[in-house]
Amino acid sequence: MGATIDKIKGRAKQLEGKLTGDKVRAAQGKAERTKGDLESAAARAVRRAKGLIDQAAARAKAELDRANRPWRKR
């Protein structure tokens, strides 16, 4: 949620800076928007990594279950 707020606040600051001609304020807004974008990207990467780890764990568990069946010939 913080990333979205940073993006919105950054866009508002950026527009304020453009409207008033304040280049510093516009730059601050752009920096805040970029921070929000980076936070979003990092959160997506973490979610994807967790998903891949969960998939790998499920596959490993399935393999172990299949290998430990008593009726399976080895």
Q: What is the per-residue pLDDT across 7-36, written as a single tens digit (0 to 9) for each?
A: 999 999 999 999 999 999 999 999 999 999
Domain boundaries, the chain: 2-67
Q: What is the pTM of this model?
A: 0.70
Whole-angstrom distance, CA of residue 37 vs CA of residue 44: 11
Do the beta carbons of residue 32 and residue 6 sit within 8 Å? yes
pLDDT tens track for 42-60: 999 999 999 999 999 999 9
